[in-house]
Copies of this chain bind each other. A is one copy, B any other.
């Protein structure tokens, strides 16, 4: 079965892609861009290094600006990032048989809830897969460090295509202090496999 997976180039979405392929799915990686700042090419480099087909999907800048208003109003990013993730899943759902993401059990950013997921499945006649949902932080760290070569960097400087990157760029240009809104954290970027047989 063909599945389109939302991809940032980070370790979680890379592991989700690797897992689905191991389980027999035909996986294509999709990176969403809102056309405000170009980070999607970093994800493309990671996707190609891992031997996956990759596509950059443009979403309306309106979606980004609405989420950014929410984030600026809240003073923290949770709800806005959740909204962007749902918008990205819906955009994929319109043109896919199955969609997937790298959300995991212990994620801090709110994951799509069961009812949100079932609503997308029913409205678009699509299947949603979240292969990391049954795995905790430690298991994912063990798997990713065994399989991938990974670069780590503070999120403001990282070469990842997480939604956070475009949100940061947008809010910064609007004059917000993004380091107050986003807690300081480290972002991962997968740059290849560790072993020859990992693919």
Chain A residues engaging chain B, CB cutoff 8 angstroms: 1, 19, 22-24, 98, 103, 105, 114, 117-118, 121, 127-136, 138-139, 142-143, 146
CA distance A146 to B25 in the complex (A): 12
Q: Are B138 and A127 in contact (CB under 8 A)?
A: yes
Dominant secondary structure of chain A at its interface with chain B: mixed
- Of all chain B residues, the one with the shortest Cβ separation from A130 is B134
Taking the nearest CB of chain B, how far is it from the CB of A42, in angstroms? 25
Q: How many copies does the complex hold?
A: 2
Closest 4 CB pairs of A and B: A130-B134, A133-B134, A133-B133, A131-B134
- Of all chain B residues, the one with the shortest Cβ separation from A3 is B139
Query: Which of B118, B127, B136, B146 is close to A121, meaning CB atoms less than 8 Å apart?
Result: B136
